[in-house]
Amino acid sequence: MTQRIRPGAVAALALLFAAATGCTGRQPPEAPAPSAPAASPSAARGAGAQHADAPRPFTLIASGDVLPHSSVIDRAAADAGGQGYDFTPMLKGAAPVVSRADLAICHMETVYGKDGGPYTGYPSFKSPPEVATALRATGYDSCSTASNHTLDAGAAGVGRTLGALDTAGIRHAGSARSAAEAARPTILPTGPGKRAAKVAHLAYTYGTNNIPLPAGKPWTVNVIDESRIVAESRKARRSGADVVVLSVHWGTEWQDEPDARQLDLARRLTASQDRGRPDIDLIIGTHAHVPQAYEKVNGTWVIYGMGDQIAGAMINYQGVQDPRGNQSSMGRFTFAPPAREGGRWTVRKAEFVPQWYDTGAGRVVDLNASVKAGADHHRQVRDRIRDVVLGRGAAADGLVMGE
């Protein structure tokens, strides 16, 4: 992880990548099986009025790294008015987009500290658990928790993080408190009714900043292993998943272009099939700190990197503050049901939504909405993100900038 500038300090993925080591990790108890999958709150908002037995399309949105540096923690304390930490205001600009989706996925890069702190930023992160409450209030349904910072506070930090996400009502994938939890697929409903799609969420990281896995607990965090990813995907299919989404923490920091390892793993995973059906239906990448391209590979959409949704002011490897570290995109994909039973759900619409985290105000900014409202000074940032996202020809495959 690179250095950050620190200005001062609650509502409700063996391939081990030798990427840059510095960056800039319990599922809820299973409810008794109902006659139909319970809908997430965002799914309930997005579901249309259709016959209960008719397969229906759904929209999934995914966003980049939530990386609370000390300055971000300080802002949340100020926004709480001295009563703990409130991260909801800084995410308010993302909420209208997130809450409209049937399923919303975030990336929680850091782990949480104990109630009351101390809370820390770079280089060893311990974030306030109130982050989880704000993510839920924004509309997120699940978060990937596998990153190079997952083991910053050991197994205890993983336990606190997953516990806080459970309490907030957010599912999670990528780290675990037990072997049983690690073996259980994270499967998310996209709406009410027994024919609503079920989405499996998988998550893996290139490494853990050379912190070893806890003794006797190799399941604490998922480290990239192609065969394990494929096996987990197939297990999720057997457990009823219609769509498999893979969150992967990978790539080279501060590099706009995906690196050779990203490109190779994306090609191999999207080519993997079982009984004529792809094992992975969507890959969403994090870690590089900067927006990277979207690309359709072997017929499957891959986001190489979404950038940081929330992070403090960033210093790159040249030792200068780099505004790209606060630029990101959200990927939005509308899936349509298969033409025949057991077929693949296909992406009928692919979109990206440019975002920027204003470190001065401590707020996520929807750049399209801001430009439309008259903030012309945001146009250049928005257009730079657009150019990077479309840099590998995704427009020819139908990717458009959404609102």
Residues β-bridged to residue 283: 246, 302
* More confident position, 204 or 339: 204
What local confidence, expressed as pLDDT, does residue 341 receive?
Answer: 85
Q: What is the percentage of the chain residues whose pLDDT exceeds 90? A: 83
Evaluate if residue 255 carries a pLDDT over 80.
yes
- Burial class (CB within 10 angstroms; exposed 0-12, middle 13-18, buried 19+) of 284: buried
pLDDT band at residue 19 under the 50/70/90 scheme: very low
Q: What is the mean pLDDT of the chain?
A: 90
User: ∠372-369-300 over CA atoms, to 5°?
Assistant: 120
**Phi, psi angles (nearest 5°) of residue 138:** -75, -25
Residues β-bridged to residue 245: 201, 282
Report the distance separating Cα 70 and Cα 73, nearest Å: 5
Evaluate if residue 43 carries a pLDDT over 90.
no
**Residue 240: C-alpha distances to residues 29, 135, 196 (Å):** 18, 27, 11
Evaluate if residue 75 carries a pLDDT over 50.
yes
Q: Average pLDDT for residues 246-262, to the nearest whole number?
A: 98
What local confidence, expressed as pLDDT, does residue 33 receive?
Answer: 36
Domains of the chain: 41-401 (3.60.21.10)
Tell me how crowded residue 299 is: count the other CB atoms within 10 A of its CB. 13
Q: Average pLDDT for residues 82-104, to the nearest whole number?
A: 97
Report the distance separating Cα 208 and Cα 264, nearest Å: 21
For residue 395, the SS3 value is helix
Lowest-confidence pick of 24-33, 149-158, 192-201, 373-382: 24-33
Tell me how crowded residue 89 is: count the other CB atoms within 10 A of its CB. 18
Pairing relationship of beta strands 346-358 and 399-401 according to DSSP bridges: parallel
CA atoms within 13 A on the CB side of 54: 8
Report the distance separating Cα 261 and Cα 29, nearest Å: 36
Q: Average pLDDT for residues 341-369, to the nearest whole number?
A: 97
Candidates 19, 23, 20; CA nearest to 4 is 23
Evaluate if residue 148 carries a pLDDT over 50.
yes
For residue 173, the SS3 value is strand
pLDDT band at residue 85 under the 50/70/90 scheme: very high
pLDDT band at residue 187 under the 50/70/90 scheme: very high
For residue 19, the SS3 value is coil
The residue type of 85 is Y
Candidates 126, 130, 94, 110; CA nearest to 10 is 130
Evaluate if residue 32 carries a pLDDT over 50.
no
CA atoms within 13 A on the CB side of 82: 0
Evaluate if residue 154 carries a pLDDT over 60.
yes
Evaluate if residue 20 carries a pLDDT over 60.
no
What local confidence, expressed as pLDDT, does residue 55 receive?
Answer: 76
Evaluate if residue 52 carries a pLDDT over 70.
no
Q: Average pLDDT for residues 49-66, to the nearest whole number?
A: 81
The answer to whether 310 and 68 are in contact (CB under 8 A) is yes
Q: Average pLDDT for residues 334-360, to the nearest whole number?
A: 96
Q: Average pLDDT for residues 102-130, to the nearest whole number?
A: 97
Lowest-confidence pick of 33-37, 113-117, 238-242: 33-37
Q: Average pLDDT for residues 102-122, to the nearest whole number?
A: 97
This prediction's pTM: 0.88
CA–centroid distance for 240 within its chain: 22
What burial letters (b/e) apply to 180-209, b meaning 16+ CB within 10 Å? Answer: eebebbbbbbbbbbebbbbbbbbbbbbbbb
Q: Give the tens place of pLDDT for each residue, 286-307.
A: 999 999 999 999 999 999 999 9
Candidates 233, 235, 281; CA nearest to 58 is 281
Report the distance separating Cα 190 and Cα 8, nearest Å: 41
What local confidence, expressed as pLDDT, does residue 11 receive?
Answer: 37
Evaluate if residue 56 carries a pLDDT over 80.
yes
Q: What is the percentage of the chain residues whose pLDDT exceeds 70? A: 87
What local confidence, expressed as pLDDT, does residue 192 receive?
Answer: 85
What local confidence, expressed as pLDDT, does residue 54 receive?
Answer: 66
Report the distance separating Cα 285 and Cα 211, nearest Å: 22
The residue type of 330 is M
Candidates 91, 92, 131; CA nearest to 109 is 131
Residues β-bridged to residue 321: 315
Where does 83-175 have alpha helices with state H? 88-91, 95-100, 130-138, 154-168
**Residue 256: C-alpha distances to residues 23, 132, 222, 356 (Å):** 15, 29, 25, 16
Phi-psi group of 319: left, alpha or beta (phi > 0 → left; psi -120 to 50 → alpha; rest → beta): left
